[in-house]
Amino acid sequence: MKATGSALRAALAALVLLGAVPALMFLLLIMAGDLHLHAGLIGIAISAAAALLLAVLLSRDVAALTALMRAQRSDQGDPIEPIALFTPGLRRLGHEVVRLMRTERRRRAQLERIAAADRSLLDRLPDPLFLLDSSRFVVWCNPSAEAAFGSETASLLRHPLLRAALAEAESSALPVRASLSLASPLARDLDAVVVKVGAPDDPVRLFLWLADRSRERGLERMRADFVANASHELRTPLASLIGFIDTLRGPAADDPEAQHRFLGIMAEQAARMQAVIGDLLSLSRIEMTEHQPPETILFLPPVLERVAAAMEPMLTGNQSRLLTRIAEDLPRVTADAEQLAQLFSNLLDNAIKYGGKGGTIQLDARLVTDDSRFESPGIMVSVADDGPGIARQHLPRLTERFYRVDKGRSRAVGGTGLGLAIVKHVVARHRGRLLIDSIEGEGTTFSVWLPLARGQSIKPIVQSNETMLPQSQMKVARKG
Ligand code: ADP
């Protein structure tokens, strides 16, 4: 209705503008007597009719152009069709307007695509990212930020170091960096970078990018602890050796009995240093190859039997006995025989050392096909003792270098504190799993799961502890 009214007004205005001048001229000619009244009236009528036709065409074309532009403003994505205009000058204008609109729509679509790509990049960024305004209100954050901080965001933004960095970034054109340590909800070390975005006159917008450095810092701490521990492990026996050398040179120079005793202790301390250095070298060799899985296809039973046989003197010394239950036709694994021998030797050595005098140790090897803890069939080798067991709180830390439940006992039995660290790294290199179960007062079981070599057929011989092989198919050895 409104559109019709304004079109009518435009048509009337065009009619007046186009028709008024010729009509006035005809009138003046009639009044001056230069034109006959009838001829003048006919002229006025013809020019009025022509003006009316032109006004109608003009107002229709203008209305069509206006409608086209209005449709473009509310852009519903409809195709921009060329419009038919009748007024000669406007036809060209209409043509140009349609081209301009199509170009503008293409550009806008392109900008939207770029913006969507930018947004999806920020959304997929693994590091948390926040966009903040001048009052530190989170205008936007990516899913990583939501996942990492969620409801903790407010307390994160209150961290004094972060607040200082945000304040500094507000008045700086350069990125501002800060390193923070969060204590809760979980201990984290973060690197923060704050960048002010937008033109200087725009409202303040700050991008806050956070990178979790907990792992790197943890590794740095571990490395520093390791160096400190390793030097401590060597320094103690070395100090004792130096002390005895001084005693042998001085007060005990003429005391053969004391000399004999001291040399015995010195030999023990030297052996201890040798054991620590040997384990440190093994550990570093294993770590160097850890990213490179072994390639040899190995039949495990002979390796286990060799390791078990080598334990005999130690078993005898400790009056312990070893029972082995190794399924005979186990499928092969891809393994490094020497490293696996060291692994099982460390586990058996611990079981004898910590299992107590006269204990029984059970070495089992079986095929595991249907255990949901493992992604594929594999071989499970377990070493179980009936010793005093290990308190629950120690279990997660047992494989740390130099971690011992009872330092004195470990040293007394010749432990270096590196045996289980070696076990962990060998298992990792073999893409296996290490499981530790212990019940205080009942004993400890270390189980190593190793994936089968590719292409090994699975003949489920022994599937679980409950469904053991019939005795005839099993090799039962009793030692010690
Ligand atoms: P160590 O050289 O001291 O034996 P390991 O890394 O082999 O070092 O073992 C770490 C600690 O785990 C040992 O000091 C001991 O306290 C504990 N441990 C290992 N195996 C057993 C076991 N079978 N029974 C009880 N404690 C064990």
Per-residue pLDDT band at 3 (split at 50, 70, 90): low
Q: With residue 177 as reference, give the H or E element that holds it.
A: strand 176-182
Is pLDDT larger for residue 424 or for residue 48?
A: 424
CATH architecture of 125-212: 2-Layer Sandwich (3.30)
Residues with Cβ within 8 Å of 400's Cβ and at least 6 positions away in sequence, in order, are 421
C-alpha span between 447 and 436 (Å, rounded): 6
Residue 240 pLDDT exceeds 90 = yes
How many Cβ atoms from other residues are within 10 Å of residue 190's Cβ?
Answer: 22
Judge whether 23 and 47 are in contact, CB under 8 Å: yes
Q: Are the C-beta atoms of residues 279 and 419 closer than 8 Å to each other?
A: yes
360-368 and 378-385 beta bridge pairing: antiparallel
Please list the residues that pair with 206 across neighbouring strands.
Answer: 132, 196
Contact 304, 324 (CB under 8 A): yes
Torsion region of 128: left, alpha or beta (phi above 0 gives left; psi -120 to 50 gives alpha): beta
Q: Could you report the per-residue pLDDT of 319-372, keeping only the tens digit for each?
A: 999 999 999 889 999 999 999 999 999 999 999 999 999 999 999 999 999 899
| Average confidence score pLDDT of the chain | 88
Q: Which atom of ligand 1 is nearest to the CA of 421?
A: 6
Q: Has residue 7 got a pLDDT over 70? A: no
For the Cβ of 445 lying below 6 angstroms from any atom of ligand 1, the answer is no
In degrees, rounded to 5, the angle at the alpha carbon of residue 10 between the alpha carbons of residues 6 and 12 is 115
Nearest protein CA to atom 13 of ligand 1, as residue: 404
CA 19 – CA 105 distance, rounded (Å): 40
Question: Residue ranges per domain, the chain?
Answer: 2-117, 125-212, 214-291, 293-480
Mutate to test the pocket of ligand 1, among 283, 286, 360, 398 (most ligand atoms within 8 A of CB): 398
Distance 407 CA to ligand 1 centre (A): 10
Q: What is the pLDDT of residues 122-156, one digit of tens each?
A: 999 999 999 999 899 999 999 999 998 988 899 99
Residue nearest to ligand 1 atom 27, measured at CA: 354
Spatial distance between the Cα atoms of 221 and 400, rounded to a whole number of angstroms: 13
Place of tokens 């005979």: 328
| pLDDT(255) > 50 | yes
The whole-angstrom separation of Cα 288 and Cα 132 is 45
Residue 398 beta carbon below 6 angstroms from any ligand 1 atom: yes
Confidence of residue 2 (pLDDT cuts 50, 70, 90): low
Length of the chain: 480
pLDDT in tens, 180-214: 998 877 788 999 999 999 887 888 899 999 999 98
293-480 has which CATH code?
A: 3.30.565.10
The residue type at 253:
A
As to burial, measured by CB atoms within 10 angstroms (0-12 exposed, 13-18 middle, 19+ buried), residue 351 is: buried
**Residues 282, 291: Cα–Cα separation, whole Å:** 16
Distance, in Å, from the CA atom of 310 to the CA atom of 294, rounded to the nearest integer, reads 24
Distance 242 CA to ligand 1 centre (A): 29
Q: Which atom of ligand 1 is nearest to the CA of 446?
A: 23
Q: CA-CA distance, 275 to 449, in Å (whole number)? A: 27
Query: What pLDDT shows up at residue 179?
Result: 94
Architecture of domain 214-291: Orthogonal Bundle (1.10)
**Tokens representing residue 4 in the block:** 């019709």
**Does the CB atom of residue 405 touch ligand 1 within 6 A?**
yes
CA 362–ligand 1 middle distance (angstroms): 17
Tell whether ligand 1 has an atom less than 6 A from the beta carbon of residue 436: no
| Residues 199, 455: Cα–Cα separation, whole Å | 63
CB 196 within 8 A of CB 204: yes
Q: What is the DSSP string of 128-161?
A: -EEEEETT--EEEE-HHHHHHHGGGHHHHHT-HH
Ligand 1 centre to CA of 402 (Å) is: 10
The gap between the terminal CA atoms of the chain, to the nearest Å, is 109
Sign of CA dihedral 49, 52, 58, 63: negative
